[in-house]
Amino acid sequence: MKKSNLYGLIALVLTLSMVFSVMVSANAAGTLSTQEIDQILNTTTDTSLTSNAVTAAVAKVYDSVVLVRNYTITRSSNYGYGWGWGWGYDNDYGNNQGAERLAGFGSGTVVTEYGHVLTNYHVIEGASRVTVYDGENEYAAEVVAYDEDKDVAVLLAPELNLPAVELGDSDSLQVGETAIVIGNPMSENFFRTTTVGVISSMDREIKSQSVDKYGRRGTTTNSMIQTDAAINSGNSGGGLFNVLGQLMGIPSMVYRGSNSFFSSSASVESIGMCVPINVAKEYIREALEKYDGEAVQKDLAEKAKENDRNTTGNDMTDKPRLGITMSTLSSSNSAVANGVLPRGCIVREVEKNSPAEAAGIQAGDIIVEVDGTVIADSTSLQNIILQHKADDTVSVKVYRAETNPLEAEYLSDIGDGEYIDINVTLQVVGVPAA
């Protein structure tokens, strides 16, 4: 090619580049139309292209994982002279007062339609009371089967209304298979967190210290499933699932050190251990063999009747009432456990033309004290009111939050509040129709 032709070609390219640059600069300097902006921002994602076996499995089992709370009673006693050193004689002369506290938490998975929940024994160990939380409400649970050495426990929470997962066959697990872990690290703060990894190894022999019922220490060896799916504090008792959504194991511990579990002598990550579901099936069977549906339904009916008496005032139509519907807000409630709200009775509804309405009590108020007596539950409040007659005035202290707790979606929405003293003149008012 002649030099003149080559120079001409280069000149043409440079000219076109300059023209293009000028056009781009002109467009950038101008104002974009709404249509052009919408074209950039109004995008969509085709979930049929992003969905896979993992997302399908998680959707199938997600609602079946619950939070398990362990409550214990702490006691202190002395000889009665106000020393308060936490020791002394536990008799009528002493001071043996108990206070319930939240001792720990973990996770659990619903395994039957009757309300059986599978978890670890160490999650409920030493509990005076156990509850399960479904993200909205907390329900009483009973330990119906367990094995301390195997670290397995089965709870029964008959009021729980969540779908049960399908149990798998942990003997069929393969190294390298996808592992899905769902649980509650850091309690409800990270409720139903999903982590994904692989099955790292099978039949890991893990030794742990144990104490029998006579106080003798020993060593227990269990065969565990190893996974690299993240397991954190609070995941214990949750679910290890395969891509079919079958429960294959119970996340139980994480290896943090070179010599023992829960140590920090070395930097170790992604080594978690799970109890195989085939080990737990024996205790699920035991729980099912003990299950008495008629007795459970009878207990639920009695509880509902008691709640009705305590909240609506049935069987007391000739007695003065506040005219409210209420329920107990105990230390087991997440808002109370986190220090957002005080214990007491939360007012769910205020009846029209009632003494409570006339005095200014509102739905969402928490009654914490009546006539100088601290209110622990709805029964104690009702007993105080029953001691009065019509036209008596009672002093009621309520806590009123910045946002009505009954309407708040998250604990952080409730905000601060204040205690308010309200005088209520009691009257005999009819019980509202059911």
Consecutive sets of 10 residues in the chain, 434 residues long: mean pLDDT of each? 59 59 54 94 94 96 96 55 30 44 92 97 92 91 93 95 97 96 90 96 78 57 89 93 97 69 56 95 96 90 66 57 86 78 91 93 94 81 87 93 89 90 88 52
List 64, 107, 151, 365, catalytic entry: 151
| 116 labelled catalytic | no
pLDDT of residue 29: 57
H or E stretch at 249: strand 246-254
Beta strands at 152-156 and 97-110: parallel, antiparallel or unpaired? unpaired
pLDDT of residue 331: 67
- 280 with 237, same domain: the answer is yes
Supply the CATH number for residue 375's domain: 2.30.42.10
Give the CA diameter of the chain: 117
Q: How far apart are CA 355 and CA 264, in angstroms?
A: 61
List 77, 187, 200, 236, catalytic entry: 236
For residue 44, being part of any structural domain is answered with no
Q: 104 with 122: CB under 8 angstroms? A: no
Residue 383 has, within 13 A of its CA and on its CB side, a CA count of 8
Phi-psi bin for 88: left (phi > 0), alpha (psi -120 to 50), beta? Answer: left
Q: Which residues pair with 66 in a beta bridge?
A: 108
Q: How far apart are CA 432 and CA 323, in angstroms?
A: 9
Angle ∠(278,125,242) on CA atoms, nearest 5: 30
User: H-type helices in 271-346, by residue range?
Assistant: 277-290, 293-312, 334-337
pLDDT of residue 69: 94
pLDDT of residue 154: 97
Name the phi and psi angles at 132, rounded to 5.
-125, 145
| 151 labelled catalytic | yes
- 267 with 160, same domain: the answer is yes
Supply the CATH number for residue 273's domain: 2.40.10.120
- 151 with 85, same domain: the answer is yes
Q: 161 with 135: CB under 8 angstroms? A: no
pLDDT of residue 431: 58
List 64, 107, 116, 122, catalytic entry: 122
Q: 229 with 195: CB under 8 angstroms? A: yes
- 121 with 247, same domain: the answer is yes
- 389 with 281, same domain: the answer is no
- 171 with 284, same domain: the answer is yes
pLDDT of residue 189: 84
For residue 35, being part of any structural domain is answered with no
Q: Which residues pair with 243 in a beta bridge?
A: none
Q: How far apart are CA 247 and CA 359, in angstroms?
A: 54
Residues 132/133/139/145 CA torsion (nearest 10 deg): -10
Q: How many independent structural domains does the chain possess?
A: 2
**Backbone CA torsion sign across 404, 331, 284, 176:** positive
Token pair listed for 334? 């997440």
Range of the domain at 185: 59-288
For residue 39, being part of any structural domain is answered with no
pLDDT of residue 308: 56
- 267 with 372, same domain: the answer is no
- 334 with 281, same domain: the answer is no
For residue 75, being part of any structural domain is answered with yes
| 236 labelled catalytic | yes
- 98 with 181, same domain: the answer is yes
